[in-house]
Amino acid sequence: MHKPILIIGACGQIGTELTFELRNKYGAENVIASDIREGSNALMQSGPFELLDATNYAAIEDVVMHYEIDEVYLMAAMLSATAEKFPMRAWNLNMNSLFNVLNLAKEKKISKVFWPSSIAVFGPNTPKKDTPQSTIMEPSTVYGISKQSGERWCEYYHKKYGVDVRSVRYPGLISWKTMPGGGTTDYAVEIYHEALNKGTYECFLNGDTELPMMYMDDAIRATISLMDSPTEKIKVRSSYNLGGMSFTPKDMAKSIEKHIPGFKVSYVPDFRQEIADSWPSSIDDAAAREQWGWEPRFNLDQTTNEMLKNLKE
Ligand SMILES: NC(=O)c1ccc[n+]([C@@H]2O[C@H](COP(=O)([O-])OP(=O)(O)OC[C@H]3O[C@@H](n4cnc5c(N)ncnc54)[C@H](O)[C@@H]3O)[C@@H](O)[C@H]2O)c1
């Protein structure tokens, strides 16, 4: 039987689906969901839940001791677009929550940690196409700075204290169960809702902005597969590049038009354009493929099929 797992930030876009999948795999009682707020009815009814502030070390420690938690997935964070509005709150949340979990592992109160990084660790001076695993990283956003620092700390805790921490740099994630939480790639979810509800969409990025993206099922599979991999296969302890697909808002509009003829998108870039312009357009994920067998399954048209089918139901 798998030892108990705690998910912190379980009510968000990724946490919700991660909770469902881990509960399917290991049993509902073995996966404790937690967040600073309650989540969807489906999530709240699917198993144990604790209200928990990720910045409160003592509170996390209590939950870890109470449920004899072995692994923590830390999904609480402030995302890229919101973090630009509240820089200090973003820094405090993104860094202190990570230190809390890394320190619990350092003290051997838990044995494994998953912490997500992001393509936001890269910056305007990074090679944009097929961005390598190791390259220039000069993030220009608060969020990117926090993720870059987080990566360095994860590697440090692994080397100095033997902490088993694992991480991927998620691209923009597309899902239908939960709305996105204030990122620069949120358009790629909103567009499907508006296509079905209104037949039009006003996009906050310009139509030619190519970004790395991934369907949520692939992201969840990557996360669990990395956590299940034998320790000796995990050579990267900062964070792995993770590729899915790359496309522009115009590509996405075309993909949707195949299902909804006459679907119209207008482009009115806002402050998020500058963030998007500083990020890669595609990702080289050879290290993840070679070391723990990563392979994406969903392309843009398959994602569109899944999104429209599920949102219609
Ligand atoms: N969604 C993406 O496209 C994407 C891409 C790259 C990286 N990531 C990373 O993945 C992780 C999860 O992202 P997401 O999209 O699910 O974010 P989200 O905003 O949808 O969810 C974050 C959750 O954290 C919770 N939270 C906020 N403050 C908290 C606190 N103090 N204590 C406990 N919970 C708190 C929120 O209530 C929310 O439910 C984050 O680290 C994010 O940076 C996401």
**Taking the chain, what is the end-to-end CA distance rounded to the nearest angstrom?**
35
pLDDT for residue 74 is more than 90: yes
Q: pLDDT tens-digit profile of 145-197?
A: 999 999 999 999 999 999 999 999 999 999 999 999 999 999 999 999 999 99
Q: What pLDDT, on a 0 to 100 scale, did the predictor assign at position 25?
A: 97
Which of these is catalytic: 67, 73, 143, 240? 143
Question: pTM for the whole thing?
Answer: 0.97
pLDDT band at 1 (very low <50, low <70, confident <90, very high): confident
Residue having the nearest C-alpha atom to atom 12 of ligand 1: 75
Collapsing DSSP to helix, strand or coil, 165 comes out as strand
Distance 10 CA to ligand 1 centre (A): 8
Place of tokens 């449920």: 67
Confidence band, pLDDT 50/70/90 cuts, at residue 304: very high
Q: Cβ(150) to ligand 1 under 6 A?
A: no
Q: Is the CB of 105 under 6 A from ligand 1?
A: no
Nearest to 60 by CA among 13, 89, 117, 102: 102
What the block records as the tokens of 200 is 């039009």
- When the pLDDT of each residue in the chain is averaged and rounded to a whole number, the result is 98
183 lines ligand 1 (CB under 6 A): yes
Tell me 183's DSSP state: -
Q: What is the pLDDT of residue 20?
A: 98
Of 6, 11, 13, 245, the one to substitute when testing ligand 1's pocket (max ligand atoms within 8 A of C-beta) is: 13
Burial class for 235, CB neighbours closer than 10 Å (0-12, 13-18, 19+): exposed
Among this protein's residues, is 26 annotated catalytic? no
The verdict on the CB of residue 212 being under 6 Å from ligand 1 is: no
